[in-house]
Structure 1
Amino acid sequence: MTSLLNYLRKGYKYFFIALKGEETEFTSGSINKAIFLLSVPMVLEMGMEGIFAIVDIFFVGMVSKEAQATVGLTESVMMIIYSIAIGLSMAATAVVARRIGEKKPKKAGDAAFQAILIAVLFSVIISVVGIIYAEDILRLMGGSEQLVQNGFGYTKIMLGGNLCIMLLFLINAIYRGAGDASMAMRSLWIANGLNIILDPIFIFGLGPIPAFGVEGAAIATTIGRSVGVFYQLLGLFGGERIIKLTIENVKLRWKTVRSIFDIAAGGMGQFLIESASWLFLMRIISEFGDAAIAGYTIAFRIIVFTILPSWGMANAAAALVGQNLGAERPDRAEISVWRTAHLNTGFLFVVSIIFFWFAPQFVGFFTDEVIVLEHGALALRVICVGYITFAYGMVISQGFNGAGDTKTPVVMNIIFFWFIQIPLAYYLAIYLKYGFLGALSSVAIAFALHAAACIYWFRLGKWKLVKV
């Protein structure tokens, strides 16, 4: 009993150390402590993102089933933006973590600024395309003409204002690579906390603010995340964080840009490939009507609520790999990944049991339409079957990325999400006529095969030799 109390006291103490970001050395000492101190703020950071996703779809669901479908179709396209942002984030985390591990903070700042420049360039291109072609994008995704006319404003705002999303992801990755996970956590709390407050105001109206409907959700998101980015920039240029930018960093360095882009290209590729597979999957699901799209969208948002905290643990593994390789401690980097993978698997195993048994209750919180509820509950249950293997694959993929080996996950994603998942989804859903269930089953199968391949390749250890 005494040992248990001591253990709880120590956990309580480390929890608040993690929130404050007081510990910055992760290349020595207890690996379990390092994982805990990095994971706590990252899990809480991603947990807030998950709460945002749930709250957003909750308020949009009060507008109409069509509004939910609009959000689902737009989110599928937004996955491309998330992919670019996450790809750049991987590169930023890998390079910044390596430079911090080498005790070269000035070069870490150089890498951070070059990554921000690349993000701005991509964002401008996406904004132009999104604003001009919002209606065509929704039609391409299978939206009905009525849905397009009522929802294209949401799509236009989300795509046009993508810079705040891009930078929020990227700058948080810079902080995480430096081991300053608490700063990343606070910036996302500010961004998504503000979005949650503004969501009902702009969707339903309040005082002089008119009811914008589904467009209001996009307005709230853009404002909230822009404020979060402003807070991030204050930290970067304030000179009080582990990583900081000065006038010396604000220069174009082509060699650093090329290095970051080489790594980011693999990161973008793997997530663009994975996102494109979700686009194709959504296109197949759209064959079964707006109710199927709405049900899948609700289930996906519920799943995101737990995947994002899980992703936080994976990000902790990536940061530990980068810093420990920089400190020339590859064995410590490998142990960090395996232990984080075990923790992540245990977490998602518990979550999968809860979601499987109470799927109708969870989905019913967001809709009272029977047909939408049935589709949503089925989607939640089927995807949960692949949760446990997904947990392993997620952490190990991030282990590769933290080492700067973003090309191996690209190959994995091409094989398992394009060559297996999409053809299998079409075969089961359309050819064998299993419909919605068939399309979803392909996801669980692909997750399991992907995780097995990641484990095998990670054990070979070639990622330890990557130079960044």
Structure 2
Amino acid sequence: MDGDKRDKIDAMRQQIVEGHVEKTLIKLASPLIINNLVQVLYNLTDTFWLGKLGREELSAPGTAWPLVWFFMSIGMGFAIAGFAFVSQYVGAKRYDEANRAAGSLYSLMMIFSAIVAVVGVLIAPLAMDFMNVTPEVYDYALSYTRIVFIGIPFSFTLFAFNFLLRAIGDTKTPMKINAFTVFLNIVLDPFLIFGWLGFPELGVVGAAVATMVSNSIGSLIGGYLLFTGKVGIHLTLENLKPNWDFYKRIFRVGIPSSVGFSTDALGFVVLTRIIYGYGTVAFATYSIANRLINFMFAFANGISQAMGTMVGQNVGAEKYERAKKIAEKAMLINFIILSAGTAIVIIFRPQIFGFFLEDPEVLAESVKFVKYFAVSLPFFGILSAVSNVFQSAGHTKKAMVLGMIRLWILRIPLAYGLGLFLNDTIGVWLGMGLSNILSALFALAWFLQGSWMRKIIEKAP
């Protein structure tokens, strides 16, 4: 890292490990919240335009993303491991080692993403069959999925860029780049979907192409900043060379996260199959509801992500009680935010769902979804925060276990079993809600036990 950049990182580190907790949390979280809101704006815009085509077209991205997320989640595990190492090295004031760790992570992500792109394109049809995708949605979902997989290498490297800068406490730069890419995506969407101003009318495929193009440009900008040293991390060809010893450490910490995230994503593939068993109306309702949940979590996730940076650096500095205090404050803030958001969705449900799709059957189904699932969202905020604490501290096995309990032990069996028992989607939505509440209570008890309060980086030589 260059001298002036290192001074800025050192000043930010000082604020994180010694400054006012709430002020620092808000300072770090504000750009992340804006970034999340911008991303949600893209998702909402995508849903809005595809909703003009029909509920089948609107369902295509929601069908594709569990499969895409399954592969991305494997890489996300390694990104989280890199985040934990880089943030703890910065907390310990070992900046050169943080830079080398960043280079190793970036090169690993480039190699892995190229493999994922090829595999994803090839297995997409098999995945559509497994998810029991209805015939009227199948072709739309398959085309969308394959285009997104082609652009996966750019998505992965942009992902790595965001994690690396967040680890050193820079949340503004990723926000600016992501805001630009999302704005570009939003602009491209209607032109490519409907063929405005002479552009090809691509329909659902147009939405996927817009996503691929915008992510590619964002990734190239992020790579330029990293390789020119214009941000706190400075990548060179030297530190991009495969470092097998460090790769082993990334795998040791990252594999539990990769397993946890990928089994979560696989669980959502299974959940998609369960919901499709009740027809396209049920899945269209679920797709719209997911967009609303993402909007609410834009705030909560911003707080959790900022908390992760603070927890990682404080653990690296061996300030464990301060890390615990930061996490507790973040959980309380998230619970309040999500409770307020849930109340708004309940009150304005008809207007919100009707904005995306004026379909009487979907509006009727939304009553059930909101009534039996929405109340669980504040609890999921607690679970998400605890999982973030475990990951940021480098104790990824704990986060993996939490994810498996929520999805495989609770959500899928409850959603499937209650759906069969009640012979209605009420059972599915109720099972999903119960899984959030029960797993959150377990996660909170585990967090308070304190076994996560130790660092993973080696002692300084």
Equivalent position of 2:435 in the other structure: 446
SS of the residue 2:232 aligns to? coil
- Picking from 3, 24, 29, the partner of 2:12 is 24
SS of the residue 1:365 aligns to? helix
Equivalent position of 1:435 in the other structure: 424
Q: Does 1:467 align with 2:456?
A: yes
Please report the TM-score for the alignment, with normalisation by the length of structure 1: 0.91
More displaced 10-residue stretch of structure 1: 95-104 or 230-239: 230-239
CA distance in 1, matches of 2:388, 2:183: 27
Query: How far did 1:149 drift?
Result: 3.0
Equivalent position of 1:144 in the other structure: 134
CA distance in 1, matches of 2:379, 2:135: 39
Unaligned 5+ runs, structure 1? 1-19
CA distance in 2, matches of 1:377, 1:365: 15
Q: Percent identity?
A: 29
Retained in 2: the 8 A contact 1:425–1:439?
yes
More displaced 10-residue stretch of structure 1: 228-237 or 369-378: 369-378
Instruction: Give the 5 Å matches for 1:220-369.
Output: 220-369=210-359
Equivalent position of 1:202 in the other structure: 192
Amino acid corresponding to residue 403 of structure 2 in structure 1:
N
CA distance in 1, matches of 2:334, 2:327: 10
Amino acid corresponding to residue 12 of structure 2 in structure 1:
T
SS of the residue 1:281 aligns to? helix
CA distance in 2, matches of 1:323, 1:81: 28
Post-superposition CA distance 1:352-384 (Å, at most 9, x none) = 100112112111111011112222343244332
Post-superposition CA distance 1:385-436 (Å, at most 9, x none) = 1111111111111011110001011112222310121111111001x13421
Query: How far did 1:187 drift?
Result: 1.8
Retained in 1: the 8 A contact 2:113–2:153?
yes
Amino acid corresponding to residue 456 of structure 1 in structure 2:
A
How many residues get paired? 448
Instruction: Give the 5 Å matches for 1:372-387.
Output: 372-387=362-377
Amino acid corresponding to residue 119 of structure 2 in structure 1:
V
Equivalent position of 2:82 in the other structure: 92
Query: How far did 1:21 drift?
Result: 9.9
Equivalent position of 1:112 in the other structure: 102
Post-superposition CA distance 1:100-153 (Å, at most 9, x none) = 112222211221222222222332222112222333322221123343234422
Amino acid corresponding to residue 415 of structure 2 in structure 1:
A
Post-superposition CA distance 1:232-271 (Å, at most 9, x none) = 1122122132222234322211111111122211211222
CA distance in 2, matches of 1:360, 1:126: 40
Unaligned 5+ runs, structure 2? 1-7
Retained in 2: the 8 A contact 1:349–1:387?
yes
More displaced 10-residue stretch of structure 1: 125-134 or 102-111: 125-134
Q: Does 1:35 align with 2:25?
A: yes
Equivalent position of 2:125 in the other structure: 135
Retained in 2: the 8 A contact 1:363–1:377?
no
Retained in 2: the 8 A contact 1:236–1:243?
yes
Post-superposition CA distance 1:166-208 (Å, at most 9, x none) = 2222220111011111112112112211111111111111233
CA gap of 1:381–1:308, structure 2 versus 1, over 3 A, is farther
Retained in 2: the 8 A contact 1:134–1:155?
yes
Q: Does 1:400 align with 2:396?
A: no
CA distance in 2, matches of 1:148, 1:23: 53
SS of the residue 1:354 aligns to? helix
- Picking from 47, 50, 53, the partner of 2:37 is 47
Post-superposition CA distance 1:73-110 (Å, at most 9, x none) = 11221221342243223112211101111222221122
Query: How far did 1:290 drift?
Result: 0.9
CA distance in 2, matches of 1:147, 1:86: 28
CA distance in 2, matches of 1:295, 1:21: 45
CA distance in 1, matches of 2:292, 2:145: 21
CA gap of 1:127–1:380, structure 2 versus 1, over 3 A, is farther
SS of the residue 1:27 aligns to? helix
Retained in 1: the 8 A contact 2:64–2:141?
no
Retained in 2: the 8 A contact 1:299–1:377?
no
CA gap of 1:151–1:273, structure 2 versus 1, over 3 A, is closer
Retained in 1: the 8 A contact 2:414–2:432?
no
CA gap of 1:21–1:351, structure 2 versus 1, over 3 A, is farther
Q: Does 1:71 align with 2:51?
A: no
Q: Does 1:456 align with 2:440?
A: no
SS of the residue 2:197 aligns to? coil
SS of the residue 1:249 aligns to? helix
Please report the TM-score for the alignment, with normalisation by the length of structure 2: 0.93
Retained in 2: the 8 A contact 1:296–1:375?
no
SS of the residue 2:81 aligns to? helix
